[in-house]
Amino acid sequence: MGDQPTADLPVAVFDSGVGGLTVLHELLVSLPAEDYLYLGDTERFPYGSRSPDELRQFSAEIAAHLLETGVKLLVIACNSATAAAVTDLRERLKRAGSEVGVIGVIEPESVLAAAATRNGRIGLLATSATVASGAYEAAVRGADPHTRLTSVACPDLAPVIQAGSPFDAEVVAMVRSYCEPLKAADVDTVILGCTHYPLVRPLLQRSLGADVEIITSGDAVARRVEHALSIRDLLKPRSGAEGRYQFSCTGDPEAFREVGERFLQLPLGSVERTNLDSGDLT
Ligand code: DGL
């Protein structure tokens, strides 16, 4: 566990399921030379209704497994897991003597949102776990204390998107009702605080209005990962060659593959089933 990360190792990206593939998509486009290892904890999806203790435990198990495999950076491509576990995971890695950095989605998205707003009113759409954690309030205030965040928990949206019918009348009505409080609060910038929501971005943009700026986890994290790798001297040289990317999940690999391509918008290839048998980080 005390091994030093090296530039030739992959970047690890994990999520509760396929949602984090929207983050991986941005990484593959922005940093194509890197190798990536993606793990979706589909067996325990959704994370959005889990307790903070569960999310810390799951994140520690996944991190132990990925570190055992050998990775140079851990990206928590899940808002719910980031809200509960990013600080805890950094502490656990430090105690284990690991030099591998941990990047979550909340702080980078909050910094982008605070920079984007013109009237200081920012909206958040996220899972119940993420909204209840208050992590975005703290991060947005940390980025700029003169901003005001209006948060809306959307408990039904990620499961409906995952189920595969993002454009039917039920989803349109759902999206409209979740956007109502944000329109009433006159926000000019909206954070998509769940990795599934970029799949209904056009519906959200139509409901919120064309002049509202939408911030996604993928945009924010790609820049942060590049910075983190660069300052650690772990970036692969931009030789023009494309890196490899691999997938594993804790549930049914075929189900992951079927849903996953819609989220990744790139060919997925094979998916391995994995057991999180490396224990966890104490
Ligand atoms: N990936 C999760 C997140 O960003 C959404 C899906 C879930 O509830 O697990 O919060």
278 confidence band (pLDDT: 50, 70, 90): low
97-156 confidence digits (pLDDT tens): 999 999 999 999 999 999 999 999 999 999 999 999 999 999 999 999 999 999 999 999
Residue percentage of the chain with pLDDT more than 70: 97
Are 155 and 97 contained in the same domain?
no
Sorting pLDDT into bands at 50, 70 and 90, what band is 281? Answer: confident
Confidence of residue 166 (pLDDT cuts 50, 70, 90): low
Same domain, 194 and 251: no
pLDDT at residue number 16: 95
Mutate to test the pocket of ligand 1, among 128, 162, 194 (most ligand atoms within 8 A of CB): 194
Selection from 69, 60, 76, 64 nearest residue 246 by Cα:
69
Q: Are residues 45 and 125 in the same domain?
A: no
| Residue 152's CATH number | 3.40.50.1860
User: What is the number of the ligand 1 atom nearest to the C-alpha of 46?
Assistant: 9
Do 41 and 87 fall within a single domain?
yes
194 in active site:
yes
Which of 130, 160, 196 has most ligand 1 atoms within 8 Å of its beta carbon, as the pocket-test mutant? 196
Kindly tell me if the per-residue pLDDT of 84 is higher than 80: yes
Number of domains, the chain? 2
Average pLDDT over residues 215-233: 94
Domain-located, residue 2: no
- Give catalytic status of residue 249 as yes or no: no
CB of 114 within 6 A of ligand 1: the answer is: no
Q: What is the pLDDT of residues 25-79, one digit of tens each?
A: 999 999 999 999 999 999 999 999 999 999 999 999 999 999 999 999 999 999 9
163 occurs within a structural domain = yes
Q: Does residue 104 have its Cβ closer than 6 Å to ligand 1?
A: no
| Cα gap 43→65, rounded to integer Å | 16
Above 80 in pLDDT, residue 2? Answer: no
| Rounded average pLDDT over 177-184 | 98
